[in-house]
Amino acid sequence: MCGIVGLLMANESDFVNQLLFDGLTVLQHRGQDSAGIVTSEQGRLNLRKDNGLVKDVFQAHHMMELRGHVGLGHVRYPTAGSSSCAEAQPLYTNYPYGICVAHNGNLTNTGVLSVEVREKFQRHINTDSDSELLLNIFAEAMASNTKTTPTPQSTPTPQSTTSSKTMVDTVFKSIEEVMEKCIGGYAGLYLINGIGLVGFRD
């Protein structure tokens, strides 16, 4: 059992940090093991997470660094993995785009998924958390479903390589693939850097 929250402000000059903090404080009963917030500002991800209660993890100087108009928050009650700070969420992978996850629930086929992520996708898994598997399976689906043709002169960005409709189709096709592979009871919120937020549950 965990608590997850995601926010996207219409005005890009507004910050979500205080609203995420307030939301996690209200959700504190869902998990007291660790707390974390990630925000995105102009393509840069700002992350703070640690073991402890919301009020202890986020001091004023941390809150000032969590700038951005879009973000995720998580409070954890460990039901899989360990109580290690490494398993505090949100979790992050840099490819593609920079994707973060706040996850609640359990996957029941982690053995099969772990082999697929490590051997087929050649992705490194650093924890025993099923949340990290969920993140990497979604990231791999996004990578394989994104069609880009970058020019040699420029580095592709989500906005320059795909239309909005194509990106929406890519995101939903990737979610469909995740839900076909991942068995259990779970909900996930993803921040896709430069694109937005998406949430789904089994």
Give the C-alpha separation, 182 to 138, whole Å.
10
Side chain identity at 149, as an amino acid letter?
T
Active site residue 2: yes
Which member of 2, 85, 100, 182 is catalytic?
2
Q: Which is nearest to 67 in space by CA: 103, 42, 100, 33?
A: 42
**Residues listed for the chain:** 202
User: Residue 57 to residues 37, 63, 81, 115: CA-CA distances in angstroms?
Assistant: 10, 10, 21, 34
The β-bridge relationship of strands 91-93 and 70-76 is unpaired
- Which amino acid belongs to residue 90? P
The pair of three-digit structure tokens given for residue 133, joined into one six-digit string: 């598997």
CA angle 85, 86, 89 (to 5 degrees): 85
Give the residue numbers marked as catalytic.
2
